[in-house]
Amino acid sequence: MNTQLMIPQEREQLHSLIREKLECAEEIEDTTLVRELPGVDSMKLLRLLGAVELGFQVNLGFEAIPQVQTVRDIEHLICDSRERYASRAS
């Protein structure tokens, strides 16, 4: 798993996207357990990951769903997807 994480502006974009898609007013931290946020269900999680793919221009795939526990996990998935794309492009 990639240890290089996002820059602060991207992290804030991710946190905003999570709050928007999960309709969550709570503060989002890197260690926030996504599935324990109020009102989260499997469809909202799927919509969130679709929005992450569009917003960050990455391909996470369906295998990402069970990997998401925390907000940091989503960040790692984004970075890993970028790394895979970069390695294929070079």
Q: What is the pLDDT of residues 51-83, one digit of tens each?
A: 999 999 999 988 899 999 999 999 999 999 999
pTM above 0.95, yes or no: no
* CB 17 within 8 Å of CB 51: yes
Task: List for the chain the helix, strand, coil content (%; round to 5).
Answer: 65, 0, 35
Q: How far apart are CA 13 and CA 19, in angstroms?
A: 10
pLDDT of 2: 46
Examine residue 1 and state whether it is found in any structural domain, yes or no.
Answer: no
Report in angstroms the alpha-carbon separations of 85 from 28, 50, 60, 78: 28, 18, 11, 11
* CB 17 within 8 Å of CB 53: no
Examine residue 21 and state whether it is found in any structural domain, yes or no.
Answer: yes
Examine residue 2 and state whether it is found in any structural domain, yes or no.
Answer: no
Examine residue 16 and state whether it is found in any structural domain, yes or no.
Answer: yes
Total number of domains constituting the chain: 1
Nearest to 65 by CA among 47, 83, 38: 47
